[in-house]
Amino acid sequence: MAKVLDLYINGEFRSGHGPDTFPVLNPATQDTIVEAPFATADEINEAVEAAKTAFVEWRSVPAPERARLMMKYQMLLKEKQDEIAEILSQETGKTFADAQGDVWRGIEVAEQACNVPAMMMGETSENVARGIDTYSLIQPLGVCVGITPFNFPAMIPLWMFPMAIACGNTFILKPSEQDPMTPNRLVELFYECGFPENLLQLIHGGKDQVNALITHPDTKAISFVGSVAVGQHVYRTGTDSLKRVQCLTGAKNHMVIMPDADKDQAINSLVGSSVGAAGQRCMAISVALFVGSAQQWIPDVAKAMSEVRPGAWDDNGAGYGPQISPQAKARVLDYIEKGKQEGANCLLDGSDCSVDGLPQGNWVGPTLFSDVTPKMTIYTDEIFGPVLVALNADTLEDAISLINANPYGNGTSLFTSSGGAARKFQSEIEVGQVGINIPIPVPLPFFSFTGWKNSFYGDHHVYGKQAIRFYTETKTITARWFSSDAVASANMTIDLK
């Protein structure tokens, strides 16, 4: 029988008490690696109570002391990056290089959390009226919750709990049950740095555990990354429960290729951003929008995509790994079939992909459709696989209109050599994250991850300055001291014993 992972509750790593577990499968072989325990209602209540109690003292720890502990943590994460990446590769199927990138983008946010003393500074205005001063304090909320997805089991947890805890909160992490080994290791390393116990609780489970954390009366903020349907549920339930909520959900990201773009750069970027990580990322480019004569490059895109092959995590020649589960593979194959049925031209079909020696893997090969229309299912839906759909537009204005009509607004990019075209695009496009000659424009952590429209539900985005606003509350104080107070205090005798 496979090992059952521990939970971290009330100051200790320990076995769960519940009868239910979830098998964590190697996506390349279907072998069970470990079992993830599903926490009971009592265990969740105990975790929340422990985090609530720890918050009372942690909120009073000076911000520079919190930052010093976070400095130790980000240094340890760097030392252990390859170890974490190997764990991540085995449970997600990602190539080792891709897994290293997953870990590193999380480390960058942990680095930014070390700047918390400056980011939590309030504002002061002297003499707003005669003898009256006004100033603000930035204070933590309490117990925060993070519900994270399977596709980035290191990066996305690290987008959340380092910032929340550096701000003076405590945190409960509920990672995806499909790849919980990486989050477990992140929590182990956290406590190796000397953080006080109970600042970070670790709960495993499924939808029942998610709902229990969202609706618990003592949790104050919910951070979620996942599907649109679940994100909408989390947002509605969380806000109804008077929580502060941020939900990062679906996407349909377009890359616009102008005729004056650098052809080789545009094609290489398009291929890597569409099939990398097996297409299982919310910032993947899934729509190629060719403007004018650039549509002549579609056969070249097909050739370049055909040269990319999936493989095991330790295969140095593999471009990407398998889908996370058989169910995920079946979903992608169903979309490929729908594309054919709806009349799109399947220039490259990855449906029958196989990898030597790994017949049970969840493999889907690079897939490219042309002659796609905006009404086709493969355009309207997020496929979350290595599937790229190509559309044509007569002008840049037409391309902008098409993208702005899409209900999602996570990311987009433009490849061009024209500064005027780039400025028009970045000004008029209704998408939160824009790349100019960059395929996947994920901002560095001193900015924030800023999806728009149906790609995000909430008021404040993850990491960067907006994370500080999300994980804290502002208290404004207006004070007046009378001149007689100064005279009285001068005559006071203070006993300092």
Catalytic residue IDs: 282
Q: What are phi and psi of 267, to 5 degrees?
A: -70, -45
Q: Which of 40, 38, 46 is nearest to 10 (CA)?
A: 46
Mapping DSSP to helix (H, G, I), strand (E, B) and coil, where does residue 188 land?
Answer: helix
Tokens of 398: 């037409």
Q: In whole angstroms, give the CA distance from residue 336 to residue 286.
A: 13
Q: Is 452 exposed, middle or buried (0-12, 13-18, 19+ CB in 10 A)?
A: middle
Give the residue ranges of DSSP H helices in 342-482.
377-380, 396-405, 419-428, 464-470
Given a contact cutoff of 8 angstroms between Cβ atoms, the answer to whether 406 and 381 are in contact is: no
Q: Which amino acid is residue 33, in one-letter code?
A: I
Dihedral over alpha carbons 370, 374, 378, 384 (to 10 degrees)? 110
Write down the residue that tokens 């764990």 correspond to: 87
Contact residues for 490 (Cβ-Cβ < 8 A; gap 6+) = none
Mapping DSSP to helix (H, G, I), strand (E, B) and coil, where does residue 215 land?
Answer: helix
Give the residue ranges of DSSP H helices in 276-414.
298-306, 326-341, 377-380, 396-405
Q: Which of 328, 322, 330, 331 is nearest to 361 (CA)?
A: 322
Mapping DSSP to helix (H, G, I), strand (E, B) and coil, where does residue 315 land?
Answer: coil
Helix (H) / strand (E) element for 34: namely strand 32-37
Q: What are phi and psi of 372, to 5 degrees?
A: -90, 145
Given a contact cutoff of 8 angstroms between Cβ atoms, the answer to whether 324 and 179 are in contact is: yes
Tokens of 350: 């990855």
Across 86-239, where does the E strand assignment appear?
Answer: 124-129, 132-140, 143-147, 170-174, 200-202, 219-225
Across 263-302, where does the E strand assignment appear?
Answer: 285-291
Given a contact cutoff of 8 angstroms between Cβ atoms, the answer to whether 235 and 458 are in contact is: yes
Given a contact cutoff of 8 angstroms between Cβ atoms, the answer to whether 5 and 27 are in contact is: no
Q: Which of 26, 31, 157 is nearest to 86 (CA)?
A: 26
Helix axes of 63-79 and 81-92: crossing angle, nearest 10 degrees: 70
